[in-house]
Protein backbone atom coordinates (compact mmCIF):
# COMPACT_ATOMS: atom_id res chain seq x y z
CA UNK A 1 0.00 0.00 0.00
CA UNK A 2 1.28 3.46 -0.84
CA UNK A 3 1.33 6.12 1.87
CA UNK A 4 0.76 9.76 0.99
CA UNK A 5 0.76 12.65 3.44
CA UNK A 6 -2.25 14.97 3.10
CA UNK A 7 -0.71 18.36 3.76
CA UNK A 8 0.95 21.35 2.14
CA UNK A 9 3.18 21.99 5.17
CA UNK A 10 6.82 21.63 4.16
CA UNK A 11 8.07 20.67 7.64
CA UNK A 12 5.52 17.87 7.90
CA UNK A 13 6.42 16.66 4.40
CA UNK A 14 10.15 16.69 5.23
CA UNK A 15 9.56 14.77 8.45
CA UNK A 16 7.27 12.21 6.80
CA UNK A 17 9.80 11.77 3.97
CA UNK A 18 12.58 11.18 6.50
CA UNK A 19 10.74 8.08 7.77
CA UNK A 20 11.33 6.27 4.47
CA UNK A 21 7.67 5.31 4.04
CA UNK A 22 6.38 8.20 1.97
CA UNK A 23 5.20 7.66 -1.62
CA UNK A 24 3.59 11.02 -2.26
CA UNK A 25 1.77 14.12 -1.13
CA UNK A 26 -1.79 15.29 -1.66
CA UNK A 27 -2.78 18.93 -1.34
CA UNK A 28 -6.06 20.74 -1.76
CA UNK A 29 -7.00 24.44 -1.72
CA UNK A 30 -7.90 24.32 2.00
CA UNK A 31 -4.56 22.75 2.95
CA UNK A 32 -2.65 25.25 0.77
CA UNK A 33 -4.55 28.16 2.37
CA UNK A 34 -3.34 27.03 5.81
CA UNK A 35 0.23 27.78 4.70
CA UNK A 36 -0.56 31.48 4.22
CA UNK A 37 0.59 33.64 1.32
CA UNK A 38 2.67 31.27 -0.77
CA UNK A 39 3.45 31.02 -4.48
CA UNK A 40 1.41 27.88 -5.20
CA UNK A 41 3.37 26.63 -8.20
CA UNK A 42 6.72 27.24 -6.49
CA UNK A 43 5.39 25.48 -3.39
CA UNK A 44 4.43 22.38 -5.41
CA UNK A 45 7.88 22.41 -7.05
CA UNK A 46 9.50 22.53 -3.60
CA UNK A 47 7.39 19.58 -2.42
CA UNK A 48 8.55 17.57 -5.46
CA UNK A 49 12.18 18.48 -4.69
CA UNK A 50 11.79 17.41 -1.06
CA UNK A 51 10.47 13.99 -2.12
CA UNK A 52 13.35 13.66 -4.61
CA UNK A 53 11.89 10.46 -6.03
CA UNK A 54 10.83 10.11 -9.68
CA UNK A 55 8.17 7.56 -8.65
CA UNK A 56 6.56 9.90 -6.09
CA UNK A 57 3.28 11.61 -6.83
CA UNK A 58 2.28 15.09 -5.76
CA UNK A 59 -1.33 16.15 -6.26
CA UNK A 60 -2.02 19.80 -7.10
CA UNK A 61 -5.65 20.84 -7.37
CA UNK A 62 -7.25 23.20 -9.87
CA UNK A 63 -9.64 25.88 -8.61
CA UNK A 64 -11.47 26.53 -11.88
CA UNK A 65 -14.93 25.03 -12.11
CA UNK A 66 -15.44 25.30 -15.89
CA UNK A 67 -13.95 22.88 -18.44
CA UNK A 68 -11.76 25.43 -20.25
CA UNK A 69 -10.40 26.79 -16.98
CA UNK A 70 -9.61 23.30 -15.68
CA UNK A 71 -7.81 22.38 -18.90
CA UNK A 72 -5.68 25.54 -18.83
CA UNK A 73 -4.88 25.18 -15.12
CA UNK A 74 -4.24 21.45 -15.41
CA UNK A 75 -1.76 21.88 -18.26
CA UNK A 76 -0.02 24.62 -16.31
CA UNK A 77 0.24 22.56 -13.11
CA UNK A 78 1.48 19.47 -14.99
CA UNK A 79 4.44 21.48 -16.31
CA UNK A 80 5.75 22.16 -12.79
CA UNK A 81 7.40 18.75 -12.32
CA UNK A 82 7.07 15.19 -13.72
CA UNK A 83 5.75 14.01 -10.31
CA UNK A 84 2.67 16.26 -10.47
CA UNK A 85 -0.79 14.71 -10.67
CA UNK A 86 -3.54 17.19 -11.45
CA UNK A 87 -6.40 17.02 -8.99
CA UNK A 88 -9.82 17.63 -10.56
CA UNK A 89 -13.18 17.64 -8.77
CA UNK A 90 -15.76 14.98 -9.65
CA UNK A 91 -18.12 17.24 -11.57
CA UNK A 92 -19.33 17.08 -15.17
CA UNK A 93 -16.66 19.59 -16.24
CA UNK A 94 -14.11 17.76 -14.07
CA UNK A 95 -14.90 14.48 -15.79
CA UNK A 96 -14.60 16.05 -19.24
CA UNK A 97 -11.29 17.63 -18.23
CA UNK A 98 -10.06 14.26 -16.89
CA UNK A 99 -10.69 12.73 -20.29
CA UNK A 100 -8.98 15.52 -22.23
CA UNK A 101 -5.95 15.86 -19.95
CA UNK A 102 -5.38 12.12 -19.51
CA UNK A 103 -5.42 11.74 -23.31
CA UNK A 104 -2.56 14.27 -23.33
CA UNK A 105 -0.61 12.07 -20.89
CA UNK A 106 -1.35 14.22 -17.83
CA UNK A 107 -2.09 12.07 -14.78
CA UNK A 108 -5.27 12.89 -12.89
CA UNK A 109 -6.36 12.45 -9.30
CA UNK A 110 -10.17 12.76 -9.31
CA UNK A 111 -11.21 14.19 -5.99
CA UNK A 112 -14.43 14.53 -3.97
CA UNK A 113 -15.64 11.01 -4.79
CA UNK A 114 -18.58 9.98 -2.63
CA UNK A 115 -20.11 7.02 -4.44
CA UNK A 116 -19.09 4.08 -6.61
CA UNK A 117 -20.66 5.40 -9.82
CA UNK A 118 -18.53 8.53 -9.58
CA UNK A 119 -15.43 6.34 -9.20
CA UNK A 120 -16.41 4.17 -12.18
CA UNK A 121 -17.14 7.20 -14.37
CA UNK A 122 -13.81 8.77 -13.40
CA UNK A 123 -11.87 5.59 -14.18
CA UNK A 124 -13.59 5.28 -17.56
CA UNK A 125 -12.68 8.89 -18.33
CA UNK A 126 -9.01 8.10 -17.69
CA UNK A 127 -8.11 9.07 -14.12
CA UNK A 128 -5.00 7.58 -12.49
CA UNK A 129 -6.38 7.93 -8.96
CA UNK A 130 -9.90 8.18 -7.58
CA UNK A 131 -10.13 9.77 -4.13
CA UNK A 132 -13.12 8.58 -2.08
CA UNK A 133 -13.44 10.77 1.06
CA UNK A 134 -14.12 8.21 3.75
CA UNK A 135 -13.95 10.49 6.80
CA UNK A 136 -16.48 12.92 5.39
CA UNK A 137 -18.88 10.02 4.69
CA UNK A 138 -18.43 8.75 8.25
CA UNK A 139 -19.17 12.30 9.45
CA UNK A 140 -22.67 12.15 7.96
CA UNK A 141 -23.47 8.66 9.22
CA UNK A 142 -22.44 6.64 6.15
CA UNK A 143 -19.74 3.98 6.33
CA UNK A 144 -16.89 5.32 4.20
CA UNK A 145 -15.15 1.95 4.19
CA UNK A 146 -18.10 0.32 2.42
CA UNK A 147 -17.45 2.70 -0.47
CA UNK A 148 -13.81 1.61 -0.70
CA UNK A 149 -14.98 -2.03 -0.76
CA UNK A 150 -17.52 -1.33 -3.50
CA UNK A 151 -15.00 0.49 -5.69
CA UNK A 152 -12.42 -2.30 -5.15
CA UNK A 153 -14.95 -4.94 -6.22
CA UNK A 154 -16.02 -3.00 -9.31
CA UNK A 155 -12.47 -2.17 -10.41
CA UNK A 156 -11.42 -5.81 -9.93
CA UNK A 157 -14.46 -7.06 -11.90
CA UNK A 158 -13.29 -5.14 -14.96
CA UNK A 159 -9.54 -5.15 -14.33
CA UNK A 160 -9.59 -1.36 -14.08
CA UNK A 161 -6.09 -0.04 -13.38
CA UNK A 162 -7.13 3.30 -11.81
CA UNK A 163 -5.80 3.31 -8.25
CA UNK A 164 -8.08 3.75 -5.25
CA UNK A 165 -6.73 6.51 -3.03
CA UNK A 166 -8.45 6.45 0.36
CA UNK A 167 -8.73 10.13 1.37
CA UNK A 168 -10.16 12.09 4.26
CA UNK A 169 -8.52 9.64 6.65
CA UNK A 170 -8.94 10.66 10.29
CA UNK A 171 -7.30 7.92 12.37
CA UNK A 172 -5.18 4.74 12.24
CA UNK A 173 -8.22 2.45 12.03
CA UNK A 174 -9.10 4.07 8.69
CA UNK A 175 -5.63 3.11 7.42
CA UNK A 176 -5.87 -0.48 8.67
CA UNK A 177 -9.35 -0.97 7.22
CA UNK A 178 -8.40 0.66 3.90
CA UNK A 179 -5.44 -1.71 3.63
CA UNK A 180 -7.61 -4.73 4.50
CA UNK A 181 -10.19 -3.98 1.81
CA UNK A 182 -7.52 -3.29 -0.79
CA UNK A 183 -7.20 0.47 -1.27
CA UNK A 184 -4.05 1.11 -3.31
CA UNK A 185 -3.11 4.29 -1.45
CA UNK A 186 -3.95 5.97 1.84
CA UNK A 187 -3.45 9.72 2.14
CA UNK A 188 -3.45 10.94 5.71
CA UNK A 189 -2.62 13.93 7.87
CA UNK A 190 0.92 13.88 9.30
CA UNK A 191 -0.60 13.39 12.78
CA UNK A 192 -2.03 10.03 11.63
CA UNK A 193 1.34 8.93 10.19
CA UNK A 194 2.86 9.60 13.63
CA UNK A 195 0.07 7.66 15.33
CA UNK A 196 0.67 4.64 13.06
CA UNK A 197 4.14 3.99 14.42
CA UNK A 198 3.32 4.37 18.11
CA UNK A 199 2.32 1.79 20.69
CA UNK A 200 2.49 2.27 24.47
CA UNK A 201 3.85 -1.27 24.94
CA UNK A 202 6.77 -0.37 22.65
CA UNK A 203 7.59 2.61 24.88
CA UNK A 204 7.18 0.61 28.11
CA UNK A 205 9.21 -2.28 26.67
CA UNK A 206 12.05 0.02 25.62
CA UNK A 207 12.10 1.80 28.98
CA UNK A 208 12.35 -1.56 30.76
CA UNK A 209 15.14 -2.80 28.45
CA UNK A 210 17.15 0.35 29.14
CA UNK A 211 16.52 0.14 32.90
CA UNK A 212 17.72 -3.47 32.94
CA UNK A 213 20.74 -2.55 30.81
CA UNK A 214 21.82 -0.08 33.48
CA UNK A 215 22.03 -3.01 35.95
CA UNK A 216 24.80 -4.61 33.87
CA UNK A 217 27.03 -1.68 34.80
CA UNK A 218 26.84 -2.22 38.57
O1 LIG B 1 -7.23 15.97 0.55
C2 LIG B 1 -8.51 15.47 0.50
C3 LIG B 1 -9.01 14.90 1.81
O4 LIG B 1 -8.07 14.01 2.33
C5 LIG B 1 -9.51 15.90 2.81
O6 LIG B 1 -9.71 15.37 4.08
O7 LIG B 1 -10.09 15.69 6.49
O8 LIG B 1 -10.62 17.58 4.91
O9 LIG B 1 -12.04 15.55 4.98
P10 LIG B 1 -10.68 16.09 5.18
Q: Which CATH number does the domain housing residue 131 bear?
A: 3.20.20.70
d(CA 127, CA 62): 15
- Write down the pTM of the prediction: 0.96
Asked if 87 is an active-site residue, the reply is yes
| Residue-number span of the structural domain to which 165 is assigned | 2-215
Residues 144/109, Cβ–Cβ less than 8 Å: no
89, 114, 136, 164: residue to mutate for ligand 1 pocket, most atoms within 8 A of CB: 136
pLDDT of res. 93? 98
H/E run at residue 25: strand 24-26
Candidates 2, 79, 87, 211; catalytic one: 87
Domains in the chain, number: 1
pLDDT digits (tens, 9 = 90+) for 84-137: 999 999 999 999 999 999 999 999 999 999 999 999 999 999 999 999 999 999
Under DSSP, the state recorded for 133 is: B
pLDDT digits (tens, 9 = 90+) for 195-212: 999 999 999 999 999 999
Amino acid sequence: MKFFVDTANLNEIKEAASLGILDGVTTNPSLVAKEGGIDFKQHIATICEILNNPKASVSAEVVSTDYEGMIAEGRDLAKIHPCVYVKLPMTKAGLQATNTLSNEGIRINQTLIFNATQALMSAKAGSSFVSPFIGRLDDIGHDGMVLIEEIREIFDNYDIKTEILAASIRHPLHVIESARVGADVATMPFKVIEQLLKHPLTDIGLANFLKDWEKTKK
